[in-house]
């Protein structure tokens, strides 16, 4: 398995991976309004913009796209792995690749961790720097962790 740069032809498959993963996992942790918020946040338009910026990567297995990662500056903004491909090291591959790319320019990396992912990020050396609250709809509030990791400076 390799992490490769996404191209615009991958847009539909990336969108499918993200939306399927959100709809399978997030309802176990969040109310419907928060799930809908995440689906909207990772719209086709948002993914297309990120592909255009050259910041989206994909992982293929069994001949299809099964995972994606994205960053902006030193902020990891999207990491999703189809549920049937989780616990196979794909998320670790994406995170290592993103951390390496970000580390070329920055000495730390941060991300907004969803409830299902926070423990995984802690295992990768991230720590919570603040708790955030973001109102969605129907007076529902999304609560998440902003997590950071210091990167090793080579040299």
- The pLDDT tens digits for 67-115 are 999 999 999 999 999 999 999 999 999 999 999 999 999 999 999 998 8
- Separation between Cα atoms, residue 75 and residue 48, nearest integer Å: 18
Number of domains in the chain: 1
- The percent of the chain in helix, strand and coil, each rounded to the nearest 5, is 40, 30, 25
Q: Is residue 36 part of a domain?
A: yes
Nearest Cα to Cα of residue 149 among 116, 103, 114, 117: 103
Q: Is residue 102 part of a domain?
A: yes
Q: Is residue 63 part of a domain?
A: yes
Query: How crowded is the C-beta side of 138, counted as CA atoms within 13 Å?
Result: 7
Q: Which tokens is 105 given?
A: 């320019």
Is 146 or 1 the better-scoring residue by pLDDT? 146
- CATH code, domain with 13: 3.40.630.30
Q: What is the pLDDT of residues 2-51, one digit of tens each?
A: 899 999 999 999 999 999 999 999 999 999 999 999 999 999 999 999 99
Q: Is residue 53 part of a domain?
A: yes
Domain that holds residue 40: 3-107
Q: Is residue 26 part of a domain?
A: yes
Q: Is the pTM of this model over 0.75?
A: yes
**Cβ within 8 Å of residue 1, ≥6 positions away:** 59, 60, 61, 89, 90, 93
Q: Token pair 């050396």 is at which residue?
A: 125
């Amino acid at each position: 398995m390799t992490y490769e740069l996404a191209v615009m032809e991958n847009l539909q498959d990336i969108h499918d991976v993200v939306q399927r993963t959100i709809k399978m996992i997030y309802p176990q942790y969040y109310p419907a309004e928060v799930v809908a918020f995440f689906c909207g946040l990772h719209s086709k338009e948002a993914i297309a913009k990120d592909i255009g910026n050259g910041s989206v990567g994909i992982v293929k297995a069994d001949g299809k796209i099964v995972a994606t990662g994205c960053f902006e500056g030193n902020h990891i903004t999207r990491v999703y792995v189809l549920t049937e491909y989780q616990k196979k090291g794909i998320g670790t591959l994406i995170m290592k690749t993103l951390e390496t790319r970000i580390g070329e320019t920055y000495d730390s990396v941060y991300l907004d961790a969803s409830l299902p992912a926070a423990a995984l990020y802690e295992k990768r050396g991230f720590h919570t720097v603040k708790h955030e609250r973001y109102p969605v709809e129907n007076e529902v509030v999304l609560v998440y962790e902003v997590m950071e990791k210091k990167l090793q400076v080579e040299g």
